Structure 1
Amino acid sequence: MTIDEAIHLESYDQQWADRFSEELQTLTREIGPYTAAIEHFGSTSVPGMTAKPIIDILVGVENALHSSEIIPRLTAMGYEDLGEAGIPGRLYLRKRGGFAYNVHIVLFRGDIWNHNIMIRDYLRAHAVEAERYSEIKRRIVSQGTRTLLQYSDEKNPFVEQLLGRAKAWKNGVQSE
């Protein structure tokens, strides 16, 4: 069981939001009592963005102990448990099939939660930044990157800069 997998990019698809909504209904039914919030994040959650056609779902928990209730329910739904998968404080599960989903279980309103939501909201509010990020992702793939880990490593410097801009934007929005 390895986190690395082949990747490809697709142009934005309106159905990504629908796929999230459908999976959200199932997740809410199966794990809702153990969660503080469930959000669509990542590039598939930003209209117009080029993305891997995998719906990323952020599951916020108030207490890490809730993960022991959530994980067996997700594995029963066909999710593969990959543990922290290199990111301390996050439990990563994926489901592949007709549609592809990643679930990231994190502390609700912790740094991982906040940073991912902040980047999503920033990209939704700044179409030029979303297009810039899409261009960088397309360039990485056009230069021969075909696996998840290499792709993530190559885009990470831009994502770190993006997070800085998202934090500044959020702080500016809050002070208005």
Structure 2
Amino acid sequence: MRAIKVVDYDPSWPRLFAEISTEISILLGDRLLSIDHIGSTSVPGLAAKPKIDLDAVMISDEFLPTAIEVVRAADFVFHGDTGEQRWAFTRDHQAYGFRLYLCGPDNRGHRERILFRDYLRVHPERAKAYAELKRRLAAEAGGDWDFYTAGKTTFVSETLRLADLRTWSAQPHSAPD
């Protein structure tokens, strides 16, 4: 089993994201709604696995089949649908790599990743706790990726709940009848 490596935040991660997002923008053109830096490398100061995660959101689900073929032909390894209508690709590059997800504009997984990222960005104490959890799990996992991922599930779910409450409470609401 390949060891799980969690490293200190690298200030080059935003630049690496910008470089790969430029490439993806050129590949997918005007059918692309947005490219978002997601995952731990998108949170300044957060320890992470040295993989830049990004979501490429298409303007419509109808463009996904073509986008999948375009990215497959561009030196990315295709991993299929993650089970949430997000198609995963990877590319290794020296000491780091990229994990690209293609999805449509109303993808729940994408929305949750943005919510999680944004919450950690404005709650450094939560980001610190997440980094500590990831380091502990990486050490305990012995290369078992299922163990590592499952160990983060409760933390991620709790953070999404907190983020959702924060988002909901910040929006105007009408009084109940």
TM-score normalized with structure 1 length: 0.89
1:27 alignment partner, one of 24, 30, 41:
24
Q: Which residue of 2 aligns with 1:88?
A: 84
Task: Please say if 1:9 is aligned against 2:15.
Answer: no
Are residues 5 and 91 of structure 1, via their aligned partners in 2, closer, same or farther at CA, if it must alter by over 3 Å? farther
How many residues matched? 172
The CA distance in 1 between the partners of 2:147 and 2:75, in whole Å, is 26
| Alpha-carbon distance in structure 1 between the residues aligned to 2:72 and 2:21 | 16
Note the C-alpha offset of 1:157.
Answer: 1.5
Structure 1 window deviating more from structure 2 (101-110 vs 12-21): it is 101-110
Aligned-partner Cα distance in 2 for 1:93–1:149 = 19
Match of 2:167 in 1: 170
Q: Are the counterparts in 1 of residues 35 and 57 from structure 2 also a CA contact under 8 Å?
A: yes
1:132-161 deviations in whole A, cap 9, x for unaligned? 111111111122342433311221111111
1:125 equivalent among 107, 114, 122: 122
What runs of 5+ residues in structure 1 fail to find an aligned partner?
none
1:71 aligns with 2:68: yes
Q: Is the contact between residue 56 and residue 101 of structure 1 (CA under 8 Å) also seen in structure 2?
A: yes
2:138: which partner in 1?
A: 141
CA RMSD of aligned residues (A): 1.9
Q: Is the 8 A contact 1:34 1:69 kept in 2?
A: no
Residue 5 of structure 1, CA deviation:
5.8
Provide the C-alpha distance between the structure 2 equivalents of 1:5 and 1:148, rounded to a whole number of angstroms.
Answer: 9
| Runs of at least 5 residues in structure 2 that lack an aligned partner in the other structure | none
3-state SS of 1:140 partner: helix
Deviation at residue 38 of structure 1 after TM alignment: 0.7
Mean Cα deviation higher: 5-14 or 22-31: 5-14
Larger radius of gyration: 2
- In structure 1, distance between residues paired with 2:48 and 2:139: 14
Structure 1 residue 49: Cα displacement: 0.5
Q: The residue matched to 1:93 in structure 2 has which SS?
A: strand
How big is the shift at 1:170?
Answer: 1.4
When you count strand as a share of all residues, which structure comes out higher? 2
Distance in 1 (CA, whole Å) between partners of 2:146 and 2:101 is 16
Contact 1:8 1:146 in 2 (8 A): no
Distance (Å, rounded) in 2 between the aligned partners of 1:109 and 1:63: 9
Mapped to 2, the partners of 1:59 and 1:5 lie a distance apart of: 27
| Partners of 2:172 and 2:10 in 1: CA distance | 34
What's the CA shift string for 1:43-79, capped at 9, x where partnerless?
0000010100100001112322312221222122211
TM-score (norm 2): 0.89
Q: Aligned residues: percent identity?
A: 27
- Corresponding residue of 1:59: 56
Assess if the C-alpha contact under 8 Å between 1:92 and 1:103 holds in 2: yes
